[in-house]
Amino acid sequence: MATTNLSAYDKATIPNGKQFRFGIVVSEWNENITQGLLEGAKTTLLENGVQSDNIIVWDVPGSYELIYGSKKMQDQKVDAVIAIGSVIQGQTKHFDFVCEGVAQGIKDLNVLHDTPVIFCVLTDNNLQQAIDRSGGKHGNKGVEAAVAALKMAELRKNA
């Protein structure tokens, strides 16, 4: 469980994003959560110098589809991709399969391709936990993902 505000970061330690282009792939499932994460990510990118026309947003049906959407987004000449989703524990093992598959799929994209994909998929036990991490009392995980994307884009440029 997060104990700090996820939205807190030192702007002085973040690369200026003016020269970068980002892709964001967003799950439509649990849209009330993923839209909050998307807004946090977009706002953070814009606040750190990214031009609005250098942010491409694609929707996919669910979190499992983030893998394919992120793979196709890597082909769009972006400097980093942010994969945004929300999976909330239910009464079946479906939660486990989706979470494992998405985590492994995004890991594979990072290993196999040169464009980093940032994992911004909430895997919560209940709706309240997701609300708390998508703009609620624990801040916004989308902000954290955007900060990671800026840092990884800079690393990719300089490596």
**Active site positions, annotated:** 94
DSSP-derived 3-state class of residue 30? coil
Q: Facing residues of 124 across strands?
A: 88
Q: How far apart are the first and last CA of the chain?
A: 33
CB 74 within 8 Å of CB 41: no
Cα angle 127, 132, 138 (rounded to 5 degrees) comes to 155
Runs of H (alpha helix) within the chain: 31-47, 66-74, 94-112, 127-133, 141-158
Strand order in the sheet with 55-60: 55-60, 22-27, 80-88, 117-124
